[in-house]
Structure 1
Amino acid sequence: MSQVEATGVVTSRAAGRRPQTAAGFLALFRSELLLTFRRVRTVVLLGILAVLPVLIGVVVKIETDGPSRGEGPAFIAQVTQNGLFLVFTALAVSLPVFLPMAVGVVAGDSVAGESAGGTLRYLLVAPAGRTRLLAAKFTAGLAFCLAATLTVALAALATGAALFPMGEVTLVSGETIGVGPALLRAVLVAVVVAASLSGLVAIGLFISTLTGSGIAAMAATVGLVITVQILDSFPQLHAVQPFLFAHHWLSFGDLLREPIYWDDVLKNLGLQGAYVAVFGSAAWSRFTSRDITA
C-alpha cells in the first residue's frame, strides 16, 4: 500500500470520531475491530484454531483405546463417552500454546504494526487522542481473545457432536447434569479462558509501544509466552510461579465441578487484572510520552 493510500485509509478510519465522547470511542473501537479481523493473518490464525479440535476429535475417534489408559490431555478420557468434553479438551490443548501465541501476534502488532506501516502518525493527526486509541486497541485485543476462544469451542462442539454421542454430562466431581446446563458450563469456561488471556494482551500492547517493528513486537511477545511456560514447569521456582500470568490458566477445570470451585479461578482472574493494570499503565505512559515519527 502506498503512503497516499495508507493516509486515505487512516483518514477514513478516523472520520466521524469526536473527542471526549463515548460515541467517538465506539467508532474508534469498531474501526480497530474491523482492521484486526480483516487482516489475512488474523483469518489464518482463527482457521488454525478451528482445525485443532477437528484433528483432536479425529485422532480420538480412530484411536478409541487410547483414552482408556488415562493418557493424553485433560478431559480426553471422557470424550468418547460424551462429545461435549471435546470442547474442554480442545481448550486445554490450545491454551498453553496455540491460543496465547495467536493473541501474542495480534497484541504485539497492535501499535508497532501501525508504526511500521507508516499509518500511526497520520492516525494521531485526527482528534482521536492517544489514550483513546490505546484503549481501543486493547479492547479490540480482548475481542480477539473471545473470538479465538469461541472458535476453538464451537469447532470442538461441532466435531464432538458429529463423532461422539451427546447426552448428560458427568462432571469431574461425579455429579451428572443435563445437556443444557452442560452447554452453559461450556460457555462459562470459554469466557473464563478468554479473560485469562487479558493479561497477555496488556503485555503485548506494552511491548508494541516499545518498538516500531511489528515483527519484533510479535516475536518478543510470543517469546515471552514460551519463556513463562518453561519457567512455570520448574518445581524449583514454585515460590514465584503463582505470580506468572500463565500459572492459573488451566484453573477452568474447576468450573466442571458441582459445586464450582471458584478459588483458583478467582486467583487467575485477579492475577490477570493485576497484569492489565501494571502493563496497561506502562503502555499508556510509554505511548502518551513517545515521539511518533512514523
Structure 2
Amino acid sequence: MLIKCIYNELLKIAYKPRSYIGIAGIIIINAIILFAMKVDGSFYISLVTGQFEQTLAFEGGILNGNLVAFISIQMLIIHVPLLIAFVTGDLISGESAMGTIRLLLTKPVSRSTILWSKFFASVIYTLAVILCLAFMSLTLGKILFGAGDLIVLKFDGLVVFQEQDINWRFLCGFSLAFLSLITVATLALTLSCYSENSIGPIVATMGIILVFTIIGSMDVPVFDRIRPFLFTTHMAAWRYFFDTPLQTKAILHSIFILTSHCVVLLGIAFYKFNRNDILS
C-alpha cells in the first residue's frame, strides 16, 4: 500500500508545473556557468592563481571539468533549498487548499502511510534535483573541459587533488548535500501540515533558513552554543570532503545533526497530521 501511495504522490508532483521549475533553473544556471567558463575561464583561473604564480609553477589543464563542477556546485547549492521547498511545501497544504486532502483521508489508508508516502516522494524529488545538478555540473563539465586535477582555493592556500582522488569525493559530497536538502524538504513538509495554502510553508521555510544562516554567520559569543546545532551550519558540510586531511569527525557530526533534524521534524509532522480535524 505504501508503494502505491508513493507512486500516486510522484504522479501528483509530475503533473504540477512548479515541479519542473527547480530542474529548469538548475539547467539554465549551470548552462550559463559552463558558457562563461568556456569563454572566459582562463581569466577566472588567473584571478585564483595569480597570487601564487611567484612561488608555484602550474602545469597542465587547470581549467577542467572537475574545477568547473566544484565552482558550479558552490554557486548553485545555496539556491537549491528554495527550489526544493517550492515543491515539498505544497504536498499537504496545496491539497488542503483544494480540499482534496479530505477526500484522501477518507480512503482506507492510515494517515501515517499517507504522510510517509509524501515524505518519500519528496525524498525522490530531491534526489532527482541533486542528480540533475550532478549531471549538469560534473558530467557535462568533463565532456566540455575534460578531466584533470582539482585545485581548491582555501583561506590559507591552495589544495591540489589528483584526478584519481576526486570522484569519490564528489560522490560523498553530493551524498551529504543530498542529506542537507532532505532536511530542508522535511522542514517544508512539516510546515505544510500547519497551513492551508502552499505559499505559507514555502515562505516560512526560506525565512527559517535565512534566520538560521544569519545567526550562524554572526560572530557573536551568545550564538556560539547554538550555532553547531543549526542545520544551516551543516548545509555546506559537503566541502569537508575536499579538505586534506579528511575531517571525519566534522563529517560525522554534520550527518548526526542533519539526521536528528529530520527525525525531530518528522515526529512533529506525524503528531500534527494524525490529529488534524478532517472537517476543518
User: Does the pair score TM above 0.5?
Assistant: yes
Secondary structure of the 2:277 match is coil
Instruction: Give the C-alpha shift of residue 145 in structure 1.
Output: 1.6
Instruction: Give the C-alpha shift of residue 80 in structure 1.
Output: 5.0
Change in CA separation of 1:117 and 1:81 when aligned onto 2, cut-off 3 Å: same
| Structure 2 equivalent of residue 196 of structure 1 | 180
CA distance in 1 between partners of 2:17 and 2:262 (Å) = 27
Instruction: Give the C-alpha shift of residue 262 in structure 1.
Output: 2.1
Q: Retained in 1: the 8 A contact 2:148–2:163? A: no
Compare 209-218 and 151-160 and name the one that shifted more.
151-160
- Deviations along 1:171-207, one digit per CA (max 9) or x if unpaired, are 77544242xx633432322221111122222211111
Task: Give structure 1 stretches of 5+ with no counterpart.
Answer: 1-23, 72-77
Compare 190-199 and 78-87 and name the one that shifted more.
78-87
The amino acid that maps onto 1:271 is I
Secondary structure of the 2:43 match is coil
The amino acid that maps onto 1:85 is L
| Structure 2 equivalent of residue 238 of structure 1 | 224
Question: Which residue of the other structure, out of 105, 124, 129, is the alignment partner of 2:110?
Answer: 129
Instruction: Give the C-alpha shift of residue 163 in structure 1.
Output: 3.5
Compare 51-60 and 252-261 and name the one that shifted more.
252-261
Q: Retained in 2: the 8 A contact 1:32–1:140? A: yes
CA distance in 2 between partners of 1:245 and 1:278 (Å) = 12
| Structure 2 equivalent of residue 32 of structure 1 | 9
Q: Retained in 1: the 8 A contact 2:111–2:274? A: yes
CA distance in 2 between partners of 1:103 and 1:174 (Å) = 33
Q: Retained in 1: the 8 A contact 2:34–2:68? A: yes
Q: Retained in 2: the 8 A contact 1:105–1:221? A: no
Report the count of equivalent residues. Answer: 262
Change in CA separation of 1:155 and 1:175 when aligned onto 2, cut-off 3 Å: closer
CA distance in 2 between partners of 1:226 and 1:164 (Å) = 35
| Structure 1 equivalent of residue 167 of structure 2 | 183
Change in CA separation of 1:233 and 1:267 when aligned onto 2, cut-off 3 Å: same
Instruction: Give the C-alpha shift of residue 162 in structure 1.
Output: 4.2
Root-mean-square deviation (CA, aligned residues, Å) is: 2.4
CA distance in 2 between partners of 1:105 and 1:268 (Å) = 24
Q: Does 1:262 align with 2:225?
A: no
Q: Does 1:286 align with 2:272?
A: yes
Change in CA separation of 1:150 and 1:188 when aligned onto 2, cut-off 3 Å: same
Change in CA separation of 1:177 and 1:162 when aligned onto 2, cut-off 3 Å: closer
Query: Percent sequence identity over matched residues?
Result: 23
